[in-house]
Amino acid sequence: MKALLLSEYKRLAIAELPTPAPSAGEVLIQVAACGICGSDVHGYDGASGRRIPPIVMGHEAAGVVAAVGKGANSYQIGDRVTFDSTVYCGLCEFCRRGDVNLCDRRQVVGVSCGDYRRAGAFAEYVTVPERILYRLPDDLSFSDAAMLEAVSVAIHAVRVAEINGAETALVIGAGMIGLLIQQAAAASGCSRIFVTDLDATRLELASSLGADAIIDGSRETVASRIAQLTESRGVDVVFEAVGRPETVAAAIDCARKSGTVALVGNIAPEVSIPLQKVVTRQIRLQGSCASAGEYPQAMEWIATGKIKVAPLITAVAPLDEGPSWFERLYAREPNLMKVVLDPRAGGEQDGAPA
Ligand SMILES: [Zn+2]
Ligand SMILES: [Zn+2]
């Protein structure tokens, strides 16, 4: 089969690899779409240490069941499916209570980090355990389905922030995840949602997706603008979708007393926090990692239009163009959002509306 192989750091090319066979409990999927994730781009040059070559990356995928292994009886050849990027064991303490993102034996598809190596979906075929599969609704296109992981991450952040409805929210960072959190927060009933970023184009996108106010952090101080917008109270919930010292500090400044700061971004491994502000204003800092069972909700909200993914897809391209798209993403070319690769020869249509 054809696959996009990272043979050494920053060396990505189409290679001919053996088509894998599904083991017991696994299914073989013919990949129809696979999104390039920020984590793939961060792994590409070795920065994250989580894509040690040789590795076929890619974990945001959808496709068609091509073969089933022994005991994998819930799916049939031809079923349209997607899968959780996390391969969880289903048995440990955390899996048993539904926190599959925190599985003791967690692996991620398309990752090699020293502890394990698991081939990903930038290839014509990939094998994954049956238990992480989800059936796709007929009217969800494969390219939209490649957005499900990112949408699930956003919904998870909103869930762990414990939105009950009517909260005011601030999203820091209008990248892919931030713009999806904005929409998930709206779908969850937040009354007013503000979005801040340094990039005017991204802020325009936030505006067109329904943000009640956008704040250009390169021109104004976020905390003072939030004070104006909330009669000096601060917002109920801040979603921090960047993960740098200055944005975490801004998040804490913008939360109301006893408010919540949901920490989603983590570009910097360490930041210092204004401890006394957090303690004396009794702010809750809540980490949010990946997703834990939010895929069905994500499918429903995309299907009903509560979450729009089309404006976030920059391009759907054949697998052969993968190396050049990685280069462009790695070079931080402006205005690129999600790039979805389609490994099918000639990019056949999937019959679903684009
Ligand atoms: Zn991802
Ligand atoms: Zn587990």
Q: Which ligand is nearest to the CA of 94?
A: 2
Q: Does residue 12 surpass a pLDDT of 80?
A: yes
Query: Cα 105 to chain center, whole Å?
Result: 20
Q: Ligand 1 mean position to 30 CA, how many Å? A: 19
Q: Which of 303, 306, 310, 299 is nearest to 205 (CA)?
A: 310
Q: Ligand 1 mean position to 39 CA, how many Å? A: 6
Q: Ligand 2 mean position to 291 CA, how many Å? A: 14
Q: For all residues of the chain together, what is the average pLDDT?
A: 95
Sign of CA dihedral 34, 311, 267, 234: negative
Q: What one-character-per-residue DSSP string does 217-245 give? A: TTTS-HHHHHHHHTTTS-EEEEEE-S--H
Q: Does residue 348 surpass a pLDDT of 70?
A: no
Q: Ligand 1 mean position to 128 CA, how many Å? A: 16
State percent of the chain over pLDDT 70.
Answer: 97
Q: Ligand 2 mean position to 95 CA, how many Å? A: 4
Q: Which ligand is nearest to the CA of 57?
A: 1
Q: Does residue 25 surpass a pLDDT of 70?
A: yes
pLDDT of residue 346: 62
Sign of CA dihedral 147, 27, 123, 140: negative
Q: What is the pLDDT of residues 75-132, one digit of tens each?
A: 999 999 999 999 999 999 999 999 999 999 999 999 999 999 999 999 999 999 999 9
C-alpha 66/C-alpha 230 separation (Å) is 54
Q: Ligand 2 mean position to 85 CA, how many Å? A: 14
pLDDT band at 351 (very low <50, low <70, confident <90, very high): very low
pLDDT band at 353 (very low <50, low <70, confident <90, very high): very low
Q: What one-character-per-residue DSSP string does 59-103 give? A: -EEEEEEEEE-TT--S--TT-EEEE-SEE--S-SHHHHTT-GGG-
C-alpha 348/C-alpha 198 separation (Å) is 39
pLDDT of residue 269: 87
Q: Which ligand is nearest to the CA of 41?
A: 1
pLDDT of residue 43: 92
Q: Is the peptide bond before 54 cis (omega within 30 degrees of 0)?
A: yes
Q: Ligand 1 mean position to 226 CA, how many Å? A: 31
Q: Ligand 1 mean position to 322 CA, how many Å? A: 16
Q: Which ligand is nearest to the CA of 96?
A: 2
Q: Ligand 2 mean position to 297 CA, how many Å? A: 22
Q: Which ligand is nearest to the CA of 129?
A: 2
pLDDT of residue 354: 40
Q: Enter the pTM of the model.
A: 0.94
Q: What is the pLDDT of residues 139-172, one digit of tens each?
A: 999 999 999 999 999 999 999 999 999 999 999 9
For residue 177, give the H/E element and its range: helix 176-187
pLDDT band at 267 (very low <50, low <70, confident <90, very high): confident
Q: Does residue 328 surpass a pLDDT of 70?
A: yes
pLDDT of residue 350: 52
Residue pointed to by tokens 């698991």: 118
Q: Does residue 274 surpass a pLDDT of 50?
A: yes
Mean pLDDT for the stretch of residues 301-325: 97
Q: Which ligand is nearest to the CA of 151?
A: 1
Q: Ligand 1 mean position to 204 CA, how many Å? A: 24
Q: Ligand 2 mean position to 88 CA, how many Å? A: 5
Q: Does residue 244 surpass a pLDDT of 70?
A: yes
Q: Which ligand is nearest to the CA of 291?
A: 1
Q: What is the pLDDT of residues 281-295, one digit of tens each?
A: 999 999 999 999 999
Domains and CATH numbers, the chain: 2-147+309-342 (3.90.180.10), 154-287 (3.40.50.720)
Q: Ligand 1 mean position to 260 CA, how many Å? A: 25
Q: Ligand 2 mean position to 101 CA, how many Å? A: 8
Q: Ligand 2 mean position to 232 CA, how many Å? A: 44
Q: Ligand 2 mean position to 51 CA, how many Å? A: 22
Q: Which ligand is nearest to the CA of 90?
A: 2
Query: Which residues are 261's β-sheet partners?
Result: 238, 285
Q: Ligand 2 mean position to 99 CA, how many Å? A: 8
Neighbours of ion ligand 2 (CB under 5 A): 88-89, 92, 95, 103
